[in-house]
Homo-oligomer: A and B are copies of this chain.
Amino acid sequence: MATNLNHPSNKESIKGVEILSIGTELLLGNIVNTNARWLAEQLSMIGLNHYRQTTIGDNAGRLSQLIKETSTRSNLLITTGGLGPTPDDLTTESIAKAFDQPLFAREPIWEEIKKKLAKKRSYMENLSLKKQCFFPKDAQIINNPKGTAPGMIWQPKENFTILTFPGVPDEMKAMWEESAYSFIKSNFSDGYIFFSNTLKLSNIGEATVSEKIKNLLDLKNPTIAPYASLEEVKLRITTKAKSRSEAKLLIKPIKEELQEKFSKYIYGEDDENLPTILIKELIKRNESLVFAESCTGGLLSSQITSVSGSSKVFKGSVIAYSNELKNLLLDVPENLLNTYGAVSEEVAESMAIGAKNKLNSDWSISVSGIAGPKGGSKLKPVGLVYIAITGPNNETVKIKKQYNPLRDRNEIQRLSVNDCLNSLRLILLSNK
């Protein structure tokens, strides 16, 4: 996008960048503000720190007031929301009003909007959409490749620029990538980039990780930050540098230190996850995989098949939720089910072997447990899960897990799936 805005001095005088999310539905708690997070990530990737995010409703007075306020303390404001055709959508006019500027219709944009509408099926072509072609006189337009509402780049006063985007995430992202990104990068970035590299750890708690890297948490460039989710701990190494190659050099020694400290826990980096790692490894070995699931009810299979190309190693599964099907489809002997119960080491083992044989595979994982909240007993409480893994050499590894019974059904299912996948990963590692 060519820029005709006259603010060569911006780079030297960056006071701050802010994000403003506009929409009463955000204040009502109807939707989560994922736009602000996405924009924050984008800004940090081009090395622009922003200092404040605000969310406000569709109220003209409050909106104008806030914009005026922002213009006194920051020099770049990115807004999302309020560009639609309804009377509630007040962003452009409130911004203009904050600086006492009128709006003018841009006929070519209106023609464009009408063309876009013609393609859409049932959408009301009404005049209220004409609103979307009104802009302050000297505003530049940000084309919207995915919807009717264009945004604008407008500098209402010295050292203050506003970029507006619709609230629909897809439209906002497409507009950012097509035009806004390069505009901001060339006009506001100081030439540095932020670069991150994330190590992913399994089978270790956040407290233990934090304890072990206490000495590294104060580093300034790169910085290290741990993030924990239910299944894993991530260590994100972030650096500010002139280029990607410089960033990688800065990260290298720290990364090596972490790799040494956590060697047996690190299973991957960045976009990798346990399914992609396993699929890659099994493709390399030319070995196939099947599952026999009970308490995870299909979640284990669906994690593997969420990866495109999984069919190269994954042949299929049996979800044997009932005892009848454990016997019918996996050949688990009835007397085993009666003697030990479906949630037992013996049945898990038999399920794994049955699946390997009947589904004709190199590797097989079975999982049987009590995901709750009902179905637990004193001897077999909620959270008790048995996993069995059998491979080409026909040895079966048996794993017993007792998750916190207070965890909810979905958490116990997710933890079980994670332990199935990570256990196979460790077996493959020791089996190279």
CB-based contact B358/A328 at 8 Å:
yes
Q: A123-151 toward B: CB 8 Å interface, digit per residue (1/0)?
A: 11000000000000000000000000000
CB-based contact B41/A26 at 8 Å:
no
Q: How many whole Å from A216's CB to the nearest CB in chain B?
A: 13
> How many residues of chain A get a CB closer than 8 Å to chain B's CBs?
87
User: Considering the chains assembled together, what is the distance between the CA atoms of A123 and B210 in angstroms?
Assistant: 9
Q: How many whole Å from A201's CB to the nearest CB in chain B?
A: 15
Contact of A297 among B36, B53, B310 (CB under 8 A): B310
Q: A227-254 toward B: CB 8 Å interface, digit per residue (1/0)?
A: 1000000001010000000000000000
Q: Which residues of chain B are near A301, meaning CB under 8 Å?
A: 293, 297-298, 301-302, 319
Q: Which residues of chain B are near A53, meaning CB under 8 Å?
A: 26-27, 54-56
Judge whether A305 is part of the interface by a CB distance below 8 angstroms: yes
CB-based contact A322/B315 at 8 Å:
yes
Indicate how many identical chains form the complex.
2
Q: Which residues of chain B are near A314, meaning CB under 8 Å?
A: 297, 321
Judge whether A28 is part of the interface by a CB distance below 8 angstroms: yes
Using CB atoms, name the residue of chain B closest to A306. B410
Q: What are 9 A-to-B residue pairs whose CB atoms are below 8 Å?
A: A33-B37, A123-B207, A298-B299, A298-B302, A298-B304, A311-B321, A314-B321, A318-B318, A328-B358
Q: Give 12 A-B pairs besides A297-B306, A298-B305, A316-B325 with Cβ atoms closer than 8 angstroms.
A: A27-B40, A29-B38, A29-B41, A29-B44, A33-B33, A54-B54, A121-B207, A293-B301, A297-B314, A317-B319, A328-B359, A328-B360
Write the residues of chain A forming the contact surface with B, with a CB cutoff of 8 angstroms: 25-34, 36-44, 49-57, 59, 62, 66, 86, 120-124, 205, 207-208, 211, 214, 217, 225, 227, 236, 238, 291, 293, 296-306, 308-311, 314-322, 324-325, 328-329, 358-360, 371-374, 409-410, 413
